[in-house]
């Protein structure tokens, strides 16, 4: 089984379906938040975000929580007869001398390379197709006290990125390390304004002083960076719960994305991995800023 090709074909189909419906490609896929493991509550990352989220949207599930067959059994539950599992991909770097690596890894042009990537498939089932799951106490949401848009504003502020809301265009300027956004009133909804701002902020993470993304060796460098930013924004929109948010005026890039994916079956894996890195970077900046604020407030209270 060619896992890379299978996954790439799935994402191409997702984009083409969105084009046919006139919808931005990830909107339906992330409407219920990022996919998580129901038992561990750990979020899936990288390509698995796209695989599981798009499958949930396609099959009309209202939850983005998943379990393996064994996990369901361990919780005293049962996967419903006839339920269809969804393939995820486990990624690991192995020593080239290991037998498994020789058997499963793609051929390497550099014989001196000591590590090779291994992809291994696994299958999970949506909780909507699992019977007998014990009720789990609902954890208090950290976002319960906040309006979702307010939290988006907080996230943008806490990154430390310089964002100017003026003019009529949205873009990130690497030379000055600044983000420019149209006035908020130009967007059809507040959620859309933040979705586009998060797209530009994902671009901002690629600066050499941060994640240092460099696609200078790619002939499709500009479009590939746009794909990374598109995915990063989709992850952030899902995390914040900005339902109905759309990346306005980004439909023009869809043809370029399709061209990239059809030419390189490994491209979506790279783009999804880099988008996850950007997502994690922004979340860490946000959390660090929140912690500093709490420390400052505590110090002021003690000094009072």
Q: What is the pLDDT of residue 145?
A: 34
pLDDT in tens, 40-87: 999 998 888 888 988 887 888 888 999 999 999 999 999 999 999 999
Q: What is the pLDDT of residue 122?
A: 94
pLDDT average, residue stretch 280-289: 94
Write the DSSP string, 25-81.
Answer: TTTTTTTT-S-EETTT-PBP-THHHHHHHHHHHHTT-S--EEE-HHHHHHTT-EEPT
pLDDT in tens, 104-134: 445 544 444 566 667 889 999 999 999 999 9
pLDDT in tens, 149-165: 789 999 999 999 999 99
Q: Where are the domains of the chain?
A: 3-127, 148-295
Mean pLDDT of the chain: 81
Q: Does the global pTM surpass 0.95?
A: no
Kindly tell me if the per-residue pLDDT of 222 is higher than 70.
yes
């Amino acid at each position: 089984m060619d896992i890379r090709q299978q996954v790439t074909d799935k994402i191409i189909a997702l984009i083409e379906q969105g084009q046919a419906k006139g919808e931005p490609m990830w909107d339906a896929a992330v409407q219920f938040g990022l996919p998580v493991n129901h038992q561990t509550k750990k979020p899936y990352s990288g390509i698995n975000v796209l695989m599981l989220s798009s499958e949930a949207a396609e099959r009309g599930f209202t939850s983005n929580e998943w379990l393996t067959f064994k996990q369901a059994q361990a919780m005293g539950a049962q996967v419903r007869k006839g339920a269809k599992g969804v393939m995820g991909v486990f990624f690991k770097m192995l020593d080239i001398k290991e037998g498994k690596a020789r058997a499963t890894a793609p051929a390497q042009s550099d014989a001196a390379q000591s590590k090779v990537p291994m992809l291994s498939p696994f299958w999970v089932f949506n909780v909507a197709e699992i019977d007998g799951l014990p009720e789990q106490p609902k954890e208090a949401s950290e976002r319960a006290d906040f309006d979702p848009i307010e939290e988006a504003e907080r996230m943008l502020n806490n990154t430390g990125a310089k964002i100017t809301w003026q003019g009529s265009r949205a873009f990130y300027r690497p030379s000055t390390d600044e983000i420019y956004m149209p006035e908020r009133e130009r967007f059809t909804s507040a959620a859309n304004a933040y979705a586009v701002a998060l797209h530009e902020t994902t671009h901002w993470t690629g600066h050499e002083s941060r994640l240092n993304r460099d696609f200078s060796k790619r002939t499709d460098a500009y479009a590939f960076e746009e794909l990374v930013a598109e995915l990063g924004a989709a992850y952030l929109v899902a995390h914040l719960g900005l339902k109905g948010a759309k990346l306005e005026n980004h439909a023009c890039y869809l043809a370029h994305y399709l061209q990239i994916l059809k030419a390189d079956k490994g491209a979506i894996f790279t783009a999804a991995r880099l988008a996850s890195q950007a997502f994690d970077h922004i979340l860490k900046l946000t959390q660090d800023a929140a912690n500093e604020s709490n420390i400052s407030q505590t110090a002021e209270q003690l000094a009072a």
